[in-house]
Structure 1
Amino acid sequence: MIRARGLVVAALLCFSTPAYALPTPVSPTDPAVADQWTNPFARPDERTDVGVEVLEADSRRAVLSVYNNSGDVVSDLSVTPRRADAAPTVGEARRVLALGRDAYPYFGTSLDLKGELGPGERRDVTLTLDSLGLEPGTTPLMFSLAGAVGEPGVLSLGTERMLLTSEGEEEADAQTPGVSLVVPLTAPVDIVPGETGQAPEDPPLILQSEQLADQLAPGGRLTDILHTYATATTTGPNAAELSQGTCLAIDPALVETVARMAEGYTVADERPSLTKKSQRLRDSWGSDDESDSGEPGRGVADAQEWLTRLSATAGAGCTVALPWANADVNAVAATEDEWLFRELVQRGPATLQAELGAAPAGNVVIPASGYVTEQTTTALGWADQTSSMVLQQGMQAAWEASVASRVPQPTDADDTALESTELPDMTGAPPPQTPVQVLVADNTVWGVPRAGSFARLAPGITAVTYPGALGALLSSTGPSPQTTGYSNPDSRFDYRLDSITARALTAGSAVRLAVAEQTLPGDWAQSPEPVLVLPASLLDARTASILLSTTAELLAEDAATPLPLDQAVTPGTEQAEELDSQPLSPPTLGVTRFGSPYADPSVVSDTEVLRAGQQARYTDDLTRMMVNDPGINLTRYGFTLPLRRDVLTSLTATSRSSLGSYEDVVAAAGRRLDANRRTLQDLRGSVALIPPGNVYTRASESSPLLIVAENGLPLPVDAELVYSGPEGATIDVPGRVHIPAYGSITVQMTADLPAERDQTQLTLWLATRDGSPISTPVDITVQTRAGIVGTYGIALLLVVGLSLMLLFRVGRHRRRDRQRP
């Protein structure tokens, strides 16, 4: 019945409101989207300044901390344990956690706290749960605090909710499901924007803060998670089986940054200017244009130690690459830039293998949003690692091959705005030679062929689904609990109402409940579907420890079997035949076949996608206008690669779907795109035309026109000189202008200008070979010979007139002198 009910729910999702992008980012407090973040009727009127937190809990007792963060004294405090009925499914358990106090009708024995609790104070208490009469299974539990704040009168204060699994649950006489736990390892990477590539070494690393060093230090989040995972899968209980059923999902941007930190780095607010411009020596005397050099980073040794531990852990078990910087795959696909998407999904596995020495699982994409759009599937062919040569040749080899085969696309030469007029063809992603698997929630695919936990999204693109209710509940763990777009809005609330520990314990019980759902009696239970466990992106060490220990316990109890990730994402023979037997209908305009079934308040807005896409295409234009030089180690793609990474970092999904950090993430993305735009404009502006002056005077009609082209980039630039002028004006420009790196060249042109004009206005600029503008247009005025004669005549008359006036005044003064006595 549960499976049938799931099918009905999936069918009803077709009528739900999908996740459309908003025009601009909107604050979670804005009434337009507030109810998409939290259901206004979920857990109403809960006080947050006076409450209770769980420190430890099991089926017998709970250790709690009662706190008073208000400005008043609290008295007559009492804590009461309450429970609901045992939940049959994870979805039902999640729903009860969002309900009011009335949903917990069973009371236990209350504990009265003696004395008062002053402002800022907290007190730890131990509460026995025997009086609750817990049923076997997973039960929603609530600790309710009551007391008098300030004036006399007992009020209901804060509550703490969690799921608790009780012992004594009957074992089902059925085949046990496979369990695969994916532990994410990512963190925000705050490289100062505007970096460009160098060769043969990487450019000096400049970070905006030491937040990453803090996470790598002993006791830091990244260090604790790695230690917890390595210990559990090597020396912990049932480590051998647990190692088979777990996989470490690593952010390649994090690994690449830590590897650079290990070589030394600087902490500063901005980076030095990238462009080199000519300057006279006397103009530089006394000038102070050096920017703040920053402070040496303090996390070098910790970065080295962490990278060594990560390499050992990766070599001993399973790893898989997250999208670069954990960027939103749907947002990157919406930019419609091929190279940005290829950097997102193609670079990561090669980076992990190069830095860690172990090949990660290939052709697996893990979207942080838990779903993919139909536009995204047109680009997922780039995630096929079997056809990628990034590890051997780098992405620049693919770029050069693509440019060599590109047919020139002329553009409007008058368009000199930042936005490029050339749009890469995202539909040109080749069909994968080996199927690409993308991990999504089970309620995000409904109009495509399905077989068990697999769905066919496009030729060669297969969705591997995990329980949506479990994914939504696990995403609400950690320091930045996420509001997933695929979660039922009725059960959305501010997950920070419960402590990190309570949510971690809930996650462990939810995994047990998800496994139990697959082993309920029934004829279908002989072939249960695997349980894929995906926690929140910013996982904390406590939650990771509970999830690992819970999985190990399930394996030790024979309640589940370890399922390696490569097997979990590969359809079996029967499933593959079932998928092949169902026709895959092509996309239909206006018909949605998969994606988020509900409104996603954290979806990247249209404005942000537009800005990111413009900068990505502008970076493509900047790359194309340069040419590689055999005498220079640096390649043109390598020079602009960090600029693409800045765009990907601005589209990170890490913490974006968190109610408490959404606005900070959006603001940081805006600042990064602003800084990246300035850098792109500076680089583009360093290739320029320098006219000889406002007016260029030709001695004769055959006199050439001269103009200087300069290049402030570290690679030569091949360009065409383009002009516009009045009707009848023709300029014979060279077909190709080769400007050396950090140099300049004088360009000579011949012109046939209208003879009837004294002066002719011309506009010149540099453009790429396919017509994209490079430099800012410059205006020059060419003086013709007729104009010269006319000008000389006027000048001669002025000289004669001035001479006569001078002679007249001198003669008058002499007459006056003779007339004086």
Structure 2
Amino acid sequence: LERLRAVAGSMCTVAVPFAQVDTAALAELDDASLAGPALAAPTGIVNTILGITTTRDDVVWPDAGVLTEKAGALLAADSPVTALLADTAVDAADAAAGTGPAPVRGVDGLSTVLFDSAAATALAALGDAPQTPSFTDEDARYDLTEDSPDARLQDALGALSWSALRTRDDVTRTVSTGAPAAPDSVLFAPPQSWSASGDDAAAVLSMVGTLIRSGLATARPFDTLFTPVPGDTPTVALPYPEQAIVDGASAEVMDTAREQAPRLDAFEEALVEDPQAQLTPQQFTAPLREDLLRAMSLAGRRGPDPGAAARDAVRRGDEVRDAVDGMFAGVTVLSPGGVYTLTSEQSPLLLVARNDLPVGITVRLHVDAPSAMKITDIGPTQLPPRGSRTLTVPAQISDSRKIGVEFALTTESGLPLGTPTNVTVRSNAYGQVLAIVTGCAGALLLFLAGRRLLHRFRGEPDPADEGYEKQ
């Protein structure tokens, strides 16, 4: 890492989208909670870890080398950006735009800088995991295992030198014939996930150095590619090759991301932001969002075993789903066990809510009770990190029978948490029976008292006192 810091500080450095995520799939999901970590966050990550300031933060290099117009609109949603694309990623008639920025038709704020697709294809074939990029023309595709590593290296060196040798020949012909020369600028782009060996990389750099020392090529700083787009620059179209769809994130992975990302958003809203806590809600949920992006990664999808990469992506998505389910299950109300006996009609119920998460959370108590029992809503309650809290729930019961009540926790938005708990409640009060008995006893008491007063006013002995007077 220290060696990388030293190199990055002396060269042009830009950040690429997180985990080589499929930008076309990201655009189809249209989820801001995933687009932000995928496109905006990497620049901050690179700057923080390497201790540098990236050359440009308005440049996006999608791993596929191609874009859909919807993906382009996503990249340029907040501010103008320039996308590094293969020269086959635009219509053939537009490819002559060269490496200078050219705006994209129908996508405001997006321009393109094109790299040499033939050289990029040859460079991608190096190493022990050779790959064929999605932007490679169909007639240039073949089984890379048919060639030896040395043959693939020679192809790459030839592709690098071809542009310099061709340009020199064109310039010679221009002097003699007056014909226009070919563009004298070319951009080389190896794959973002590159399996080239140390010897391969040394040979590639040696070839580039030889071209520069011999005067056949001149190195240009990366930043000089992005001159302002002149008003008369022709616009380009973005055809999306069928192979890029085949190499992209699978429908199963996208369905998982489409399902789990909103659940993570809702769960994060329920978590408590504590300035004194070391872990924030955003930090707690970030690894799961990043794993959803890794599941949509294009890394390995164009290599010798794309099926293994696809299976790994599905497994990662399943693990995210299980982890999110575990987060929801980690906040629950505990069952008191047995029968809960109330001492009166209006005795409160005491329940314990537990939070197994390392972050506090705000919950609500949801109660499903029969009409004979009325439960007062206690409102939102905060549970501490890895702790529990006793909930005092005011209850009123009008029946002496055993009543089954279901308690469950939810977020404030209504998402269920944990497992519902069933509680059997019984009251010592007799409800309506007690009221009737009390009323009858009171009426009898009034009757007897009135009877005694009536006899006393008449001066007559009360028959009920006959035995008492004789004693």
> Could you say which TM-score interval applies, normalised by the shorter chain?
0.7 to 0.9
Q: Contact conserved, 2:130 with 2:195, CA < 8 A, in 1?
A: no
Q: 1:448 to 1:626 in 2, by over 3 A?
A: farther
1:380 is matched with: 75
Moved more, 328-337 or 559-568: 328-337
Instruction: Give the alignment partner of residue 363 of structure 1, picking from 58, 66, 75.
Output: 58
Aligned to 2:5: 311
CA distance in 2, matches of 1:731, 1:431: 49
Distance 2:135 2:35 in 1: 23
Match of residue 714, structure 1, among 342, 358, 362? 358
Partner of 1:734: 378
- The structure with the largest alpha-carbon Rg is 2
**Aligned residue identity for 2:251:** D
Does residue 577 of the first structure (1) align with residue 220 of the second (2)?
A: no
Question: Which amino acid counterpart does residue 379 of structure 1 have in structure 2?
Answer: L
1:348 aligned to 2:42?
yes
Q: Does 1:535 align with 2:190?
A: yes
Task: Map 1:310-349 onto structure 2 (within 5 A).
Answer: 310-349=4-43
Distance in 1, matches of 2:94 and 2:399, equals: 74
Match of 2:293 in 1: 648
What is the identity, as a one-letter code, of the residue corresponding to 1:531? V
2:339 pairs with 1:683? no
Deviations 1:231-288 (A, max 9, x none): xxxxxxxxxxxxxxxxxxxxxxxxxxxxxxxxxxxxxxxxxxxxxxxxxxxxxxxxxx
The aligned runs of 1:49-448 (5 Å cut-off) are 307-361=1-55, 362-381=57-76, 430-432=77-79, 435-446=80-91
Letter in 1 for 2:231: E
Alignment CA distance shift 1:439-1:777 (3 Å): farther
1:444–1:597 CA contact under 8 A, matched in 2: no
The range that moved more, 440-449 or 684-693, is 440-449
Q: CA deviation at 1:466?
A: 1.8
User: What amino acid maps onto 1:496 in structure 2?
Assistant: T
State the Cα distance separating 1:737 from its structure 2 match. Answer: 0.6
2:214 to 552, 557, 560: 557
- Higher RCO structure, 1 or 2 (CA under 8 Å, sep 6+): 1
Pick the aligned partner of 1:616 from 261, 279, 282: 261
C-alpha displacement of 1:760:
4.9
User: Which of 661, 665, 674 is residue 318 of structure 2 equivalent to?
Assistant: 674
Gaps of 5+ in 2: 434-471
The Cα offsets for residues 710-730 of structure 1, whole Å up to 9 and x where unpaired, read as 111122111222334557875
Deviation of 1:322 (Å)? 2.4
* Partner deviation per Cα, 1:765-810 (whole Å, 9 max, x = no partner): 32223333333333344446789999xxxxxxxxxxxxxxxxxxxx
**Could you tell me which residue of structure 1 aligns to residue 415 of structure 2?**
772
- Alpha-carbon distance change, 680 to 359 in structure 1, aligned in 2, over 3 angstroms: same
- The answer to whether the 8 A contact 2:18-2:39 is kept is yes
CA distance, structure 2, for counterparts of residue 501 and residue 764 of structure 1: 69
Please, which of 662, 665, 684 is the counterpart of residue 309 of structure 2? 665
Question: In structure 1, how many angstroms separate the alpha carbons of the residues matched to 2:179 and 2:298?
Answer: 37
The 1:735/1:697 distance shift into structure 2, 3 A limit, reads: same
TM-superposed deviation, 1:746: 1.4
CA distance in 1, matches of 2:299, 2:30: 22
Answer 1 or 2: which has greater helix percent. Answer: 2
More deviation, 474-483/756-765: 756-765
More strand by share: 1
Aligned AA for 1:323?
P
Task: Kindly provide the CA deviation profile for residues 447-485 of structure 1, in whole angstroms up to 9, marking residues without a partner as x.
Answer: 999854434343222222223333333322222121222
Change (3 A) 1:726 1:471: farther
Instruction: Give the aligned residue type for 1:553.
Output: T
The answer to whether the 8 A contact 1:442-1:467 is kept is yes
Going from structure 1 to structure 2, the CA distance change for 1:702 and 1:562 (only over 3 Å counts) comes to: same
TM-score by length of 2: 0.78
Distance 2:15 2:50 in 1: 12
Per the alignment, residue 412 of structure 1 pairs with none
- Please report how far the alpha carbon of residue 628 of structure 1 lies from its aligned counterpart in structure 2 after TM superposition: 2.1
Q: Secondary structure at 1:552's aligned position in 2?
A: helix
Q: How far did 1:605 drift? A: 0.7
Partner in structure 1 of residue 154 of structure 2: 505
8 Å CA contact 1:538–1:655 kept in 2: the answer is: no
Q: What is the CA distance between 1:709 and its match in structure 2?
A: 0.8
Q: 1:529 to 1:681 in 2, by over 3 A?
A: farther
Structure 1 residue matching 2:7: 3-state secondary structure: helix
Superposition deviation, residue 443 in structure 1? 2.2
Counterpart selection for 1:635 from 280, 284, 302? 280
Structure 1 residue 318: deviation in Å?
1.6
Q: Are the counterparts in 2 of residues 449 and 455 from structure 1 also a CA contact under 8 Å? A: no
CA pair 469-714 structure 1, distance change in 2 beyond 3 A:
same
State the shift of 1:738 in Å.
0.9
Could you say which residue in structure 2 is the equivalent of 1:545?
A: 202
CA contact (8 A) 1:452 1:529 kept: no
* 1:468 correspondence with 2:117: yes
Query: Retained in 2: the 8 A contact 1:449–1:456?
Result: no
Q: Could you tell me which residue of structure 2 aligns to residue 459 of structure 1? A: 108
Once the two structures are TM-superposed, the CA of residue 627 in structure 1 deviates from its matched residue by 0.8
Between the aligned partners of 2:315 and 2:212, the Cα distance in structure 1 is 47
CA shift at 1:687, angstroms? 0.9
What are structure 1's unaligned runs of at least 5 residues?
1-306, 382-429, 585-591, 791-821
Q: Which stretch shifts more, 732-741 or 639-648?
A: 639-648
What amino acid maps onto 2:204 in structure 1?
L
Change (3 A) 1:647 1:671: same
Amino acid at match of 1:679: A
Q: 1:603 aligns with which of 237, 245, 248?
A: 248
Q: Which amino acid in structure 2 is aligned with residue 551 of structure 1?
A: V
Q: Measure, in 2, the Cα distance between the counterparts of 1:648 and 1:712.
A: 26
Check the 8 A contact 1:711/1:744 in 2, yes or no: yes
Query: CA 1:598 to 1:743, structure 2 compared with 1: closer, same or farther past 3 Å?
Result: closer
Q: What's the CA shift for 1:330?
A: 2.8
Does residue 486 (structure 1) correspond to residue 181 (structure 2)? The answer is no
Distance (whole Å) between structure 2 residues aligned to residue 337 and residue 787 of structure 1: 57
Distance in 2 (CA, whole Å) between partners of 1:723 and 1:463 is 57
* RMSD of aligned alpha carbons: 3.3
Q: How many residues align?
A: 420
Deviation per residue, 1:418-471 (Å, 9 max, x gap): xxxxxxxxxxxx521xx3222111222349998544343432222222233333
1:649 positional shift: 2.8
Q: Please give the per-residue CA displacement for 1:374-413, whole angstroms capped at 9, x wherever unaligned.
A: 33234324xxxxxxxxxxxxxxxxxxxxxxxxxxxxxxxx
Q: Which amino acid aligns with 2:209?
A: A
CA contact (8 A) 2:18 2:293 kept: yes
Distance 1:733 1:563, change over 3 A: same
| Maintained 8 Å contact 1:477/1:539 | yes
Query: Residues of 1 paired with 2:339 and 2:94: CA distance?
Result: 70
Matches within 5 A, 1:37-56: none
Note closer, same or farther for the CA distance 1:444–1:693 as it changes in structure 2 (3 Å cut): same
3-state SS in 2 of match to 1:652? coil
- Write the distance in 2 (CA, Å) between the matches of 1:518 and 1:784: 95
